[in-house]
Amino acid sequence: MSYSNICFYGGGAWGQALAITLASLGNKSTLIVSDKIREVDINNHVSKRFPQAKLSPLIKASIDKNQIIKTCDLIFITTESKRVLDAISQIAFLSDENIHVVITSKGFATNTGETFSEVVESDFPNMNLSILTGPTFADEIANNQPAAAVIANKVIEQANSICELFHNSNLRLYPSNDPQGVSIAGAVKNIIAIGAGIIEGLRLGDNAKAALITRGISETSELIKKAGGNYSSAFGLAGIGDMSLTCSGPHSRNMAYGMKIVTNYNEPPKELVEGLNAINATIALSEKLDLELPIMSSIKKILNKEANVDEIIKKLLSRPIKNEFN
């Protein structure tokens, strides 16, 4: 399966990074951008996101969203998560029914914890949808540094077609048939990263951060299983892989935010912090599924100023004894 017209709905860092990767393999693509200045810059091979890189002539940009969507057969949605549903609606209205849509945004579709794959299956049942997620910083991808991620589609052959598209590039993709599981893993890891930032900011130590990540993965796997996904996705690139990266340091916006609120809680984030968008949806989903998530619930309480960190730690350490794995 091959694609002749590839576009990116969103011309920010992640869209540009993926376009750069595809261009390294000789593939043309078009970035849908929202302003004329960025369109002109990209068409002149200039990237404000990656100033050290000269963009390939294979990468174009356009503000003519409607026309681009009508003509492409593969579209990557590379916007922040809260804009994804609008993008899907526009694509469904404008595009050919055979278009392959790949969501790269990490988050929930609704504040009740529905994933994008669930909403698409319900509202746009004929749409061919894949989820691309995993441990990937956009600047490293754009800099041609090696990375791996997962592409999930209920029809594994469709996932394989995207793997083949990126094959022999710096970004190695692995196919999965569990869009539900990898979507949840990609959303909740940002919450754990905020917690890792809080631990780092308070200098609670490496032991505490290791415990947070490990128990965070345990909660992720239980949530995936209860929500109808494959719990093993929590132990792959979408889960432990991405969580390890996002909790590794302030290169991660979510972890940087956790570190910052330790000293200045009231200052709003200057960059996108997807974990803040995901936490209420995660807790709502866990309540709907009657599933206890002690770590994620504790992070929510800290963010909402419902308890201080010392109280949270004391409660977590005094929880009833149970086996590590259910």
Annotated active-site residue in 106, 189, 209, 260: 189
Active site residue 189: yes
Class of residue 26 by CB neighbours under 10 A (exposed 0-12, middle 13-18, buried 19+): exposed
Q: Pairing relation of β-strands 6-9 and 29-32?
A: parallel
Q: How many CB atoms lie within 10 A of CB 64?
A: 11
Name, in order, each residue with C-beta under 8 angstroms of 37's C-beta and a sequence gap of 6 or more. Answer: none
Residue in 195, 180, 270, 292 with CA at minimum distance from that of residue 231: 180
Q: How far is CA 309 from the centre of its chain?
A: 27
Number of H helices, E strands in the chain: 14, 8
Residues annotated as catalytic are 189
